[in-house]
Structure 1
Amino acid sequence: MILFDTIMKLFSAQFTYPWLIYVGIGAIVLLLLLTFVNVVRVHGADPDEVRAMRKRRTRWRVGIFISRTIIVGLLFMAMAGPYIEDKKEIEGNLQLNILIDNSTSMSIFDNSKYGEMIKKLGTLIPTKTFTIASGLDSSIGNGVLSHLEPDMNYLLITDGQVNSGTPLNDIVLFGSSLNSTISAVTLFPDKSDIGVEIFGPSKSVESVENTFKIVAMRTQVKKYHIKVWLDSGLIIDRDEDSDSFTFTETLGTGDHKIKSEVTPADGSTDFFSQNNIFYKTVRIVDKPKILFISKEYAKESLITDELYDVTHATKMPSDVSEYSTVILKDIPGKEIDASMLIDYVTDGNGLIVIGGDDSFDFGEYENTLFEKLLPVSIGTGENDEGDGINIVLVMDISKSGMRFASGGTNEQEIFQKSLAIGLLDGLKNNTKVGAVAFSDKAYLISRMRPIGSSKELLANDIARLNFATYPGTNVFSGLAAAYQTVARFQGSKNIILISDGKDYPKISDLRRDTLNLVNKLAAKEYRFYTISPSPESDQNYLKKIASDGKGFFFEPATTQKLKIMFGPPKDLPPGGYANAMVLDDNHFITRKLELDALLNSYNLVTPKSQSQELVALETGQPVLTVWRYGLGRVGAFTAGSAKGDLGQLLTENNSQLIPRTINWAVGDPERNEEYFVAVKDGRENEDMTVVVKSNKFPEATNMTFSRIDEDLYSADIPPRSAGQYVVLSTPYAINYHTEYSVLGMQAGFEESIVQAGGRLFHPDEVTDIYNYVKSRSKRIKTEKINIQWPLIVLALFIYFIEIIIRRIIQTFFH
């Protein structure tokens, strides 16, 4: 009976080493050859007797072969490590571990309430209390991790603020994978406090208007008084009731100090005085020197001449090393010194090429040395039908991946499936597309096939997907499977990840492994694009994958941009104009940039595989494409007005695109200076470093410099309290500890508890906590049951039966 049950279980079994099954098949084939190949010939015997003997021997060999095949098959199946997963409901540990955060930021809450709650819980259920953070150290994630055990119940009393160590959200998700429940107590501040921070540029150019943002963090303070000083002058002194506001300043060359101070203006008390003052330093440098080369007057100079120190020329000089960036406006290839520009850009300088009737496809750039320097290839290439383009869709079907639409699970599944299927529309016919799904592990949905002949089949495969109930998300497994799916195909390799990014925590190093894989493949010219299904996704992680993977991050409403990138270019619509669209809004140039420009002319170019296409026409033609070349940066404007300029990109609403592109190309305006001191503002709890470029060894009080490169030195800044300081005549600021930065519950903390399967309780819901722990103590435990030994026993049994039968035959029928 046991053997019969084991055989039946084999149909649902999994194998630890499945490759041994294939070795077993090979062994059976070898056994077949050894059994039936005659190696002995009989000479001089009666032919009838020989035929009769061979007939008897054949029957005998068939029996032996069947027996040995079963034995070999059973042994190799046993060696492959067969196992089944058995789920059982077990009585868990009826105990509650209470993890308490005693860090400084918790002081604004009413501690007496949860103290009473712990006492009452202790009368109902066995409890243990542990302190996971104290003082200014809020490494709460590490504190929770040190107490995590499988099949346990945890109750967190914390504001969720982490200022060091592993993110708490990751630890909460990891706890659910251990079959433990982590719940939390909702806390309410009973003390009033207000703090302030300043956000804005730390380095800018003279005569440029700079925007600074004042943010007030507060609890139970409705109105506050704000003062802001610029250098030694008071520029803002008023009452405010908004959480933030901005102000603008145009500053002169040099270093400037900004100081802000807040106090309650409604009679409230101020619990923490440490966060009332915030300092910021800003360095204003001379306008970068730009060389603008154009055959005729260029309208673009209306923007450049106001913001930069521009030298105009009609042809290239013999030396351009004194300039931070060179701009070529519609210059033919025969008039460009490509060798000089390659050396110039490689050394760390910038180049911007603006198209027109005498450049790119009209300027004989194709197959020249200068084309190698550009982020675009001349012509539309051979990809009008998608030849050489490979795309893998990677879909998150985990439990956390379904939390991106309002409504039930069916609506959530439909939402992601519709998103994935919608991406298939508009792709070039010969584009090869495959699909992978993942939760805790990856599954192949569809191998790589041309989309023109398999779109309906792939859409059906996606529609039939069953979403998992596993709480975690193993992004690494999905991307690794995508790599295996597309690796052997020639051409561009593009991986599109649709996920909430709620990966396993860093403990298992999966995030680190994921980013390492992305960087490794990006170096091999793979491109990674990430799509966030909801605002609740871990967008920072998804943006990091896209950034490291040389691709873009998209929200669902912007996935149309992917179709522009991978779809075939279309002709301009009637009237000859098309909208310019930002494709990547995470790049320095296009971040938070909105364009409202209609363009009616373009050069025939194709972005290179390592470039970044930032702006394109809605019909698919590139507008702005950039890349890094050596230590420098190159940008190409390849669409504009039929009049020979950048058209509506020069209007006031869109004019930020040009200076942002130039600023990106310039990079650090001080890099060509013989001497500079660079030091960033910091916090009391952060390590700080000063970097000095000098032709002699620098010296400063209480600092030890070390040489890190030619004429480049660095030193650690000793710890100091909050304030404004000076090193080597350069001011810098140290601000209050980050522990005072967040007041109240950390945004997203309570949501992560619920998403991982925990619950939120009020301090007075003691009975609810007890009932919840009691119900959760009954757990479903999955056990891995090995079923090797019945197979081995069965193989031995068959072998012994074979021996007995052979002995009987040899004894009685010889």
Structure 2
Amino acid sequence: MIRLSFITPLALILLTLLPALWAFTLLTPRRLAPWRFWSSLALRSVILAALVLAIAGAQIVLPVREVTTVFLIDVSDSMTPAQRERALQYVNDALAAMPAGDRAAVVVFGENALVERAPGPIGALGRLSSTPMTTRTNLQEAVQLGLALFPAETQKRLVLISDGGENAGRVADAAQLASIRKVPIDVVYLPGERGPDVIVAGLSAPAVVREGQDIIVQANISSNYATGGRLQTFVDGQLIGEQELSIPEGSSTVDIRVPSGETGFRRLEVRLDADGDTEPQNNRGAAFTEVQGPPRLLLIASDESRAANLRNALLAAGVRVDLLPPSQAPATLAQLGAYAGVMIVDTPAREMPRTLLEALPAYVRELGRGLAMVGGVDSFGAGGYRRTPLEPMLPVLLDPLDTKQQPDLALVMVIDRSGSMAEPVAGGRRNKLDLAKEAVYQASLGLTPIDQVGLVVFDDTANWVLQLQPLPSMVEIERALGSFGIGGGTNIRPGIEQAALALASTDAKIKHVLLLTDGIAESNYSDLIAQMRASGITISTVAVGLDANPNLVDVANAGGGRSYRVTSIDEVPRIFLQETIIAAGRDIIEQPIEPQLGLSSPIIRSLGGLPPLYGYNGTEVREAARTLLLTPDGKPLLAQWQYGLGRVVAWTSDTQGRWARDWIAWDRFPQFAGGLADLLLPPRESGLLELRATAAGPRAFLELIAQDEQGRPLNNLAIAGRAVDPQNQGATVQFQQIGPGRYRAAVDTPSPGVYLAQVAASDAEGRQIGVAVTGIVVSYSLEYSAQRENLPLLTEVASISRGRINPSPETAFASPNQEVGSVREIGFPLLWLALILWPLDIAARRVMLRLEDVAPWLERLRRRRPSVVAAPEASATMTRLGTAKRRATAARPSSISVERSGIDAPTVPQTVVPTDQASQGRAPAPPPQTTEQRARPTATRPEAAEEQFARLLAAKQRARRKSEDR
């Protein structure tokens, strides 16, 4: 049915102006002929209505009967090849019966959804070319994509072809959206066809065990046939045993005994190799157990000697310690979870694995563990930790707050890119120029926002790669480093000259050039070095290889800088950072200082008098941090703050003989080291918290049991929970009390991997009860679980959206009888209509035209045509009028002459026409004329006589109409 719709319906209120127009027009005096009056009113009404409808955005909606059907085909791993063929055959049968004018589209989906065919008059499908991820089934994404594909002006229908085994998303939410849009979802259920399959349905282990106890693990196995196999057991990735099994049909369990090992998390895993199994993806199971005992700390040091004193002091304080280099340190949350805290001891950031740097923030923030950074020449800003994931975690700022007291640096690096820099290093994966670029990047980590940096590269000529400018973002620096490659010869002078000119025009307090080259070049720039030194610009040189120019040492000495000769290009990045730090002179302060007490702390009060220090890393304390020790000028030495659920500590001096030699020899240094460990660790538990996790489908359930030392339940606790997914992304977990001392929460576990959960409980007064941590391992996707089909879910989807279950292919394009229309805008045509009618309205009111003005030839034709009938009465009337005319003409001259002469005119006797004569139509006899009248000729013009005759005739007609009205 054709109907009207409006973009702005509120504008239709203006139609109330029509009654006002009619009332005003009808109540005012009329000065127009009736036909003009009513025509003008009608035209004005139409014009006003057209304008109002145009303002309201009037549209004509034409009914649409064409149907677009989108087929959603499940191609996840739970769908066997036979099921996929059945789905494809169903779609082809439906396309064969598609009526002319209808359209179809095809979407294939697994974990994600892809468009196989866009809406249109498509033909039969040969095979499906789109390849979504098939390890999960996300029906919701498929339905949402199908809804987005529909053209606007069409009837709409979705056909979902699947086994219903949803294990990602919520298709019920998408079905609600389809119901709101009145799009039915027809479901075609394809039940699974499984072969021989053995499944490790789960692995059960106690949440907590004591150190020294054995862990009793129970593996749950499900099989649809009887077979045999071999079961392997792993602890923290290490194989500890295997056994042969006889696997019966149905469900069975296997008990495994595992030693607990040291304090921390134990990741337990079993792997089953079954004879005749067709799906090995689901033959794994894993669980977590926490082994409780004395806490362990992980010390990370690139040079073991730098952490030896601290390790010995911690051991003396009764703390368990593992000392590892960065390359061997655990880099995942599951592995880090074995430690209560991590200390990074004088280790540069470039030697820390990227995965470890990214895992440590979640380790502290989400799991509530501790982190400490111990100072030295390769720590804090001097170690290149600016703009790394660890910088926001530290309780100190690496950049100075008071820039007026800190010198700013303008640094220009001049890098050799000659052909010799193409020599491969580090096993052939990179060349010298690649490491030179990394050195530039490392040098930028030693700069602050108040500094300036530039980069010049040279071969036989020199070019700016990064103009001297305030420190840009890391993205801009990396883009500049990627913009150049290997060049030709070697000419150092142009590069130094470009750097000197740029530095001469800047107002930085410190101006420095850093030159790197690996070859011999002409020493033709000694005059430049002298000029630079005179203007306050220093230069340091880095000579790579034995064949580098030996004169570079003299260049550095003359330029007031330092000279480095390296035989291994791998040392260059460290040297560049070190040189930047030395040139800036703010990250390392070496001078004797007396530590000052800051905020009161038990570990500091118990130490008594503190020995002096001989250096520290320059930092600034954050506002929210606690400064326990500081320098005489207020810079932090020992600071701590809360980061998420965990704690972070910064000790800005070292623990070796360079700056803290008096502290190492101090008899209370082990007590100080133990205090550092106490600052890291969470408060000791005053009660007992046990956190258990149970995986159930795409979710896991956490259960917390809270008791005091006497075993009494702790109720009404405030519980803060966090869960961390395999990508180290944290989410809040909400707990509810379900019984005395028992609390429960649910966690989404959509993808395989390790999930860690941590809770911190406190009582009504805010006192912390304790912290508990557990892990959840999702070994494989639910796509390979025992329960894959879900017909009730598909039935619910069809019910919500008012769709059909298992419709025949021939009805896939049946009209769903939706109120869909094709919209046509009529706003502009209405405006044109108003514009056209407006001149007609003006014409109806203002333009007065006679027939002879429009078509004079019609008037002439009318006059020439003789009368058809000569009525006797009309002839008599014309005779009387002619007599009267002659009488009036004869009388007019004498009257005029008498008036002109000034003589009274003689009275002319009037002739009275007898009544009987008048009634009989006879003309009265003319009065007798005088001699003068008879002698004067009549001089009447024919035009005047004709005009007078017309007036008399008109007067006669008016008199007749009046007599008839009476």
**Greater CA radius of gyration, 1 or 2?**
2
> Which TM-score band applies after superposition, normalised by the shorter structure?
0.3 to 0.5
Q: Please report the TM-score for the alignment, with normalisation by the length of structure 1.
A: 0.32
Q: Please report the TM-score for the alignment, with normalisation by the length of structure 2.
A: 0.28
Structure showing greater relative contact order (alpha-carbon pairs closer than 8 Å, 6 or more residues apart): 1
